[in-house]
Structure 1
Amino acid sequence: MADHMTAHLAGETASQAQKIATLAVCFTIVTLDGLDTTSIAFVAPVLSRAWNITPAAFTPAFVATSVGAVIGYMLSGPVAARWGKRQAAIWSVLVFGLGTLATVLATDIVSISIIRLITAIGLGGCLPIAVAAGADIMPSRYKETAAMLVATGLSAGSVIGGLIALPLIRDHGWTSIFIVGGIAPLLILPLFVWILPKETEVAKGGNPVLALFSDGLATSTILLWAFAFLVFIDAYALMFWIPTLLVDFGFEPSQAPLATAAFGTGGLVGNIILMLLVARFGIKPLLIAICLFAIACIVALSKAATASMLLPLIAGLGAGFICCCVGQAALAVSLYPPALRTTGVGWASASGRVGSIFGPALGGLMVSLGWAPRDIILTAIAPAVLAIVVLLVMRGIGRRTA
């Protein structure tokens, strides 16, 4: 109760300068998180030539990054509950900053996979702490908006990485992206610790993960995890496989990066629109509308007859599914009290990250079985429909308990 009141008072009484500073630092740390998470993808083509291996050989490094992030998401809440958010933040940033720097020492797939696994644990640990801190500093009406703003940093980081990776690697070699990505969070760390509130009590004796299933939260927790899993399946399956599938639509292989750029750009634009509307309409109705919009884009893309329609529709898919991936953090913020927000955001994100592993693998299976690209794209409707059902049930539960 004391923790809840402290967070409530912080949100209602914090000065405008405190709110801006907190959101700016949290957004920046998550942006660097997103940059470091995707950095391995930027250097894979260069290292595959340098190490004389195929790009597919980097699969263990990609999987290790996702597995490490899941572990970090799951540990963030319990560590913060046991030792405090400041200690959890310090260790998370140190692990991902120093781990990113250590990546320059990798000499083969085994070493880079191990380093990325460890680094990603720190990466996963930062996001829930930053999202919870950003939400706690804001008044109740704007907590979901703040959560979305901070979580959008992941998308911003991947976009920034795409912009700076080419000149950095071209002019300074592949290690430069990891040097920049490792030093930057270490420089921001003092500010991150500064904006986190001092905690007089940290060890409460209870298990914060089990608390997600107490006090009537069990059903909503399971539904939140299901929603995150489903939307991440679609988002990552489409993100990974649309560039390849578009060849069947008349695209040249060299144009594949345009599809990836359209998907990411659509996501950023969609996030901005959602942030502007969420305080007025609430997160659940908006996510339902976004899922319906994404389904419409899937159907239109599967029937697209001209190449000129493809990129706008792909941007629409990004707006739909990337918004849902960011929106699940806002759902967690709206569902849990302050004491459970870090754990709630972390475990929901972990469920989503599992979906991000499952989705591309399922897409790869359909490709290997020789499914038609348009049919593969249509299969993305099923998780989206299930996600809408989950949201409707969550909305019904919210009305009954209001």
Structure 2
Amino acid sequence: MTGRTLCIEDLIDEGKMGKRHYLIILLCGLVLFVDGFDTQCISYAVPHMAAQWQLKRAELGPLFSAALIGLMVGFLVVSPLSPRIGHKRLMIGSWVVFSLFTLATALATNVSEVIAFRFLAGIGLGGAIPSAIALTSEYSPKRFRATAVMLIYCCYSLGFVASGFVAGALLSRYHWGSVFLVGGVTPLALTYLLWKFLPESIYFALRKGRTDTVEKLLRRHYPTLPNIRGARFVNSTTESDRIGVLGLLGSAERRGTICLWILVFLNLGVFYFIQSWLPTMLHSLKYATDSIVWVTTLTTIGGFCAAFVIGPLMDRTGPYLTLAALYLGGAASMLWMASSISAEPKVLMCAAFAVGFCVSGGQKGTIALAIHFYPTGLRATGTGWALGMGRLGGILGPLLAGVLYSAQLSIDEIFRIAAAPVLLGAAVTFVMRWIYSESKRTEAAVM
């Protein structure tokens, strides 16, 4: 093969999945696990903060949203540094920043400190997550790529579940800072595993002209490839206008990018409203602590189960119809939740599972749609910016819910209002399907 030009994407797509690939999925999944744990633990800690510092309802919103604002900054500002630094270095550096400021949160003595530390921790986590997704996608063959990303997003859901059980075990005995102590020490202890076992991006090595490193990484992760010694490696994305943020708004992807941003914005707005406010709302209705934990956790379990259904359906029936049906189901389940909010705990738990299946499952499905939609050169940037725009919805969702809650709207009314953006998400998915089906028909007619 000496002197031949080989496309890295083709080599990866022809390769077989092995132990090293599953280790990458596991380690990148840990980053998403910590994201899920961190996102949910604040929901359990806020009622205890409110009791300690005598906070009013209107003062709770910033506690929920501080880390989400930091996440958005991390997605939009820090993650684009990966072409210069490399996914591995950026991920680990951001991971350490997150861990340290999460530990600082555990030691906070007032609301302002909690908000500041949560914001800074969010920036760190926001810098790590896109690189974890990009690295997982990069080393996965095309036939397994969406499944790999769905698997690491299952770790995100597991982080939510673990947060509920850890909070249930700690908050009844210890100070609210104990959950942040666990949330900071655990990732810090795992930093060595990330540094030791995660590979650097093949494309980063290619951009830096490190041909020997590219060859070494390919041989290590795809040992069944034919002899590639001395080959010239290229990336299939060669046009500069197809790489980076500006590429997202090019003529081919502009409308789809806008649709994806709207979808993730709507989904995460509702998702974070549920995860942030549901424990507090149920607490105000005098539900037992164990019931509150189970209802909230079941929304996450529903999303976890959805991942194993959505992936095969998207492969068989296409991503658009599957996702649109999921959003329609989400609107119906939100209405069911509204009618069950004062019902028996078992009924409420069933409704919570359905909400999680459709809303949390819709989050995973939307990211899978982004992977399906964007070409290789835009996939990491497109996913990162979609998540960044989604976090804007995640910031505004809890804040708007706080305004409605402070205005003395009933909890069932708030859930009925929240069904509207989920229904709108179904409409946007249908529009995106129509746009790109029409584009394909136009291209076929021209040919």
TM-score tier, shorter chain, comes to 0.7 to 0.9
Q: Is the 8 A contact 1:263 1:316 kept in 2?
A: yes
Is 1:164 the counterpart of 2:155 in the alignment? no
In the alignment, what sits opposite 1:216? Answer: 252
Partners of 1:76 and 1:346 within 8 A in 2: no
Residue in 2 that maps onto 1:391: 429
1:234 matched to which residue of 2?
270
Q: Match of 1:70?
A: 72
Residue of structure 1 equivalent to 2:55: 54
Decide which moves more: 167-176 or 146-155. Answer: 167-176
Task: Name the structure 2 match of 1:197.
Answer: 201
| In 1: Cα distance, 2:110 partner to 2:421 partner | 37
> Aligned partners of 1:245, 1:174: CA distance in 2, in Å?
19
How far is 1:114 from its partner?
A: 1.4
Partner of 1:31: 33
Matched residue type, 1:236: Y
Q: 296, 319, 343: which is aligned to 2:357?
A: 319
Is 263-272 or 64-73 further displaced after alignment? 263-272
1:336 aligned residue (369, 374, 383): 374
**C-alpha contact 1:151 1:329 (8 A) present in aligned 2:** no
Offset at 1:99?
A: 1.9
Q: CA deviation at 1:318?
A: 1.2
Q: Which amino acid aligns with 2:383?
A: V
> In structure 1, what is the Cα distance between the partners aligned to 2:127 and 2:420?
31
1:60–1:109: 8 Å Cα contact kept in structure 2? no
Deviation at 1:269, TM superposition (A): 1.9
Q: CA deviation at 1:175?
A: 4.3
* Seq. identity, %: 30
Letter in 2 for 1:154: Y
Secondary structure of the equivalent of 2:205? coil
1:310-334 deviations in whole A, cap 9, x for unaligned? 3212211111111112222212222
1:292 to 2:302 alignment: no
**Which AA in structure 1 matches 2:64?**
F
Instruction: Let me know the Cα RMSD of the aligned residues.
Output: 3.0
Q: Which moved more, 1:231-240 or 1:105-114?
A: 231-240
After superposition, give the CA deviation of every residue in 1:359-383 in whole Å (9 maximum; x if it has no partner): 2333333344444544433223321
Q: How far is 1:225 from its partner?
A: 0.1
Contact (CA 8 Å) 1:74, 1:343: kept in 2 or not?
no
Structure 1: 5+ residue stretches without partners: none
Pairs within 5 Å for 1:1-400: 5-50=7-52, 52-54=53-55, 56=57, 57-168=59-170, 173-193=175-195, 194-198=198-202, 199-202=204-207, 208-214=244-250, 216-242=252-278, 252-254=286-288, 255-303=291-339, 307=344, 308-400=346-438
Matches of 1:231 and 1:352 in 2, distance apart?
7
C-alpha offsets along residues 209-262 of structure 1, whole Å, 9 cap, x if unaligned?
1121125111111110001111122223344455566699xx643344443233
Q: 1:153 to 1:98 in 2, by over 3 A?
A: same
Structure of larger gyration radius: 2
How far residue 290 of structure 1 moved from its aligned partner, in angstroms, is: 0.9
Query: Structure 1 187/367 Cα, relative in aligned 2: closer, same or farther at 3 Å?
Result: closer
SS at match of 1:180: helix
Give the secondary-structure state (helix, strand or coil) at the position aligned to 2:391: helix
Checking the alignment, whether the CA contact within 8 Å between 1:93 and 1:122 is kept in structure 2 is yes
Q: 1:364 to 1:79 in 2, by over 3 A?
A: same
Report if the CA contact (8 A) 2:50-2:56 is conserved: yes
Change (3 A) 1:270 1:55: farther
Residue type at the aligned position of 2:400: L
Equivalent-residue separation in structure 1 for 2:395 and 2:137 (angstroms): 28
Unaligned runs of 5+ in 2: 1-5, 209-237, 441-447
Q: 1:110 Cα shift? A: 1.7
Q: 1:11 to 1:168 in 2, by over 3 A?
A: farther
Q: Normalising by structure 2, what TM-score?
A: 0.78
TM-score when normalising by structure 1: 0.86
Which AA in structure 1 matches 2:54? I
Asked if the contact 2:248/2:378 (under 8 Å) is kept, the reply is yes
Alignment partners' CA distance in 1, 2:176 and 2:253 = 46
- Structure 1 residues 386 and 44 mapped into 2: Cα distance closer, same or farther (>3 Å)? closer
Q: How many correspondences in the alignment?
A: 396
Provide closer, same or farther for how the CA distance between residues 119 and 342 of structure 1 changes in structure 2, counting only shifts above 3 A: same
In the TM superposition, residue 76 of structure 1 has moved relative to its aligned partner by 4.2
Q: What letter matches 1:363 in structure 2?
A: A
Q: Residues 383, 292 of structure 1: CA spacing in aligned structure 2 closer, same or farther, 3 A cutoff?
A: same
- Of the structure 1 ranges 325-334 and 357-366, higher mean CA displacement relative to structure 2 is found in 357-366
Aligned partners of 1:363 and 1:376 also within 8 Å? yes
Which AA in structure 2 matches 1:355? G
Q: 3-state DSSP class of the match of 1:200?
A: helix
